[in-house]
Amino acid sequence: MTLPLMEHMMRSIYCESNNCLPNKMLAETSEFYITLDVMLEKKYGAIANNFIDVIGENILLMLLDLFSYRQGPRLRDRVSHFEIEIKDFPKELANYTIVLCLCIIQHLMPEVVNKNQEIIQIGRLTEVINKYEPIFHPTSLWKRQVLCILNKMNEWSGLPRPPEFKQFSLWSKNENFKLVESLLEVVMIKRYLSADAILQELIEDAKELKYPTIFRPPKEIEIVYLFSRINNAIEEIHNNINANVHLRYNLWNSRQMRSRQRENYGRMLEYVYLLQIFLICILNLQIKIVRGLLELNEKQIIFFIK
């Protein structure tokens, strides 16, 4: 019963805040029914949607996570289309929905919550509202994906390597040095750092990246989706490299490699390092672009894409 009650509560708030006619709260054959998608839009017709101001930005983030984002639970859609059965309803999702209801009540009717302090932990609710960060917004998913990849790539330094193959470094004076140097200069990474140090710096940079997610320009979201697809490919590369290096090491360790195979194995280890630098550059460029997009308006973003 929580979901229909919550939806009715939100519809009531929406109609009151936007001075809607009473029949907007009802389902009629001659009138469009106010759906959750409409409630969470930026505009009410040609004017600002006052519902957004009434419930506050942080609760809006929670609502968008639960009901709107494509990769989120989209609870209302799935329940209404019988994609989720009550018996299969995840406990975590049920708890989230109840907490969200309580957060809305705490925000709009604090006196109700104050009367039930023994049941409802007001401090915890306030903390949830104030510290909430979106989970399923495309940029949030992209950020977690980038951090996951960087942490995985941080493990490359621990890949098994026979002692006869020397460790490749940024200062190796061979034919690949200029390529590495130019790549690092393009994305403005300090050349004197080791790959591990660069990774740690990027991890901290990604963690500190703060960004608004409400009503962002569609073109910006398209760019983030593009980056996510690129990162899917990077994750696949990581898995292939990890499996291949371990396979080759086991062959070397069991002395099943011929001389030519050992030479190829040594070159592969060197190019794994070069590949790591190249992928680091791609991820660093993504972080810089996303940070830069936050400073642009929609027209500037469209111009940037063109």
| Pick from 112, 92, 91: nearest CA to 103 | 112
pLDDT digits (tens, 9 = 90+) for 106-161: 888 877 666 666 555 666 777 778 888 899 999 999 999 999 999 998 888 788 88
Task: For residues 39 and 52, give the distance between their C-alpha atoms in angstroms, rounded to a whole number.
Answer: 8
Task: For residues 207 and 133, give the distance between their C-alpha atoms in angstroms, rounded to a whole number.
Answer: 13
Of the ranges 28-37, 133-142, 275-284, the best mean pLDDT one: 133-142
Task: For residues 301 and 304, give the distance between their C-alpha atoms in angstroms, rounded to a whole number.
Answer: 5
Task: For residues 242 and 172, give the distance between their C-alpha atoms in angstroms, rounded to a whole number.
Answer: 23
Residues across the chain: 306
Domain residue limits, the chain: 1-131, 138-305
pLDDT at 171: 45
Residue 48 is given by DSSP the state E
- Give the chain's mean pLDDT: 80
Contact, 266 vs 248, CB < 8 A? Answer: no
Cβ within 8 Å of residue 267, ≥6 positions away: none
pLDDT at 125: 73
| Pick from 73, 57, 67, 65: nearest CA to 129 | 57
Write down the pTM of the prediction: 0.82
pLDDT digits (tens, 9 = 90+) for 38-73: 889 888 878 889 999 999 999 999 999 999 998 988
Mean pLDDT of 265-279: 81
User: Is a pLDDT exceeding 60 seen at residue 175?
Assistant: no
pLDDT digits (tens, 9 = 90+) for 3-16: 888 888 888 888 88
| Pick from 183, 212, 278: nearest CA to 57 | 212
User: Is a pLDDT exceeding 90 seen at residue 165?
Assistant: no
Top-confidence residue, 57 or 172? 57
Q: Which two tokens stand for residue 203?
A: 């991890």
